Amino acid sequence: MNLRIGIRAFLAMSLASAAAADEQMTPLSVSGTWVAAAHQRGLTAPPDICGVVDTVTHIGLWTDGGPVQFRVANDDWVLPPRVHGQVTISIADWATTVEISDNYGTVVMAALSAKQRDELLRNMDRGRAMSVKVGNAAPVRVSLAGAKRATDAWRACVGLGGGSPGSNPFR
């Protein structure tokens, strides 16, 4: 996968956050079509923004210190402010529906509760594909190939730890 495409998709999702256009987004993991990245205000500062996105569909998770958001970007959309509606996320036999909590131009955001976030990540770890339906639009199929590695990097960025036990040769 072309890292430039991945970072472009990631930046498209970042417009509504605290990161300024001239500040650095650092890739944490690139796996399959998934990219995890973080923003820091300085070299020694902890991350203030963490995101993971599928670079094909521009669907991912984002946090800037507030609630984790499930974000869907679509360059064909022209959305007015304060869009109301729902996003339905399905993986195998698991599904959840969340209310759109914010939006701008081409992106909708749905705040996830900790339980929704944990269930989503657990199912992403085990699934092969995810279906995402925004409002009345046709569902979008999202490949989860490579997502586990990228979501593990995102978990570390936000302080949740990895999704599965691993080994550390330095412990």
Considering the entire predicted model, what is its pTM?
0.83
Tokens of 160: 């949740």
At residue 53 the predicted structure's pLDDT band, cuts being 50, 70 and 90, is: very high
Q: How many domains does the chain have?
A: 1
Q: What is the CATH number of the domain that holds 140?
A: 2.60.40
Evaluate whether residue 48 is within a structural domain. yes
Please write the tens of the pLDDT for every residue from 102-118.
998 899 999 999 999 99
Domain hosting 120: range is: 3-158
Instruction: Kindly state the average pLDDT of the residues 119-133.
Output: 97
The distance of Cα 90 from the centroid of its chain, to the nearest Å, equals 15
Evaluate whether residue 166 is within a structural domain. no
Residue 92 has a CB neighbour count (10 Å cut-off) of 12
Distance CA 53, CA 71 (A): 9
Distance CA 155, CA 159 (A): 6
Please write the tens of the pLDDT for every residue from 134-148.
999 999 999 999 999
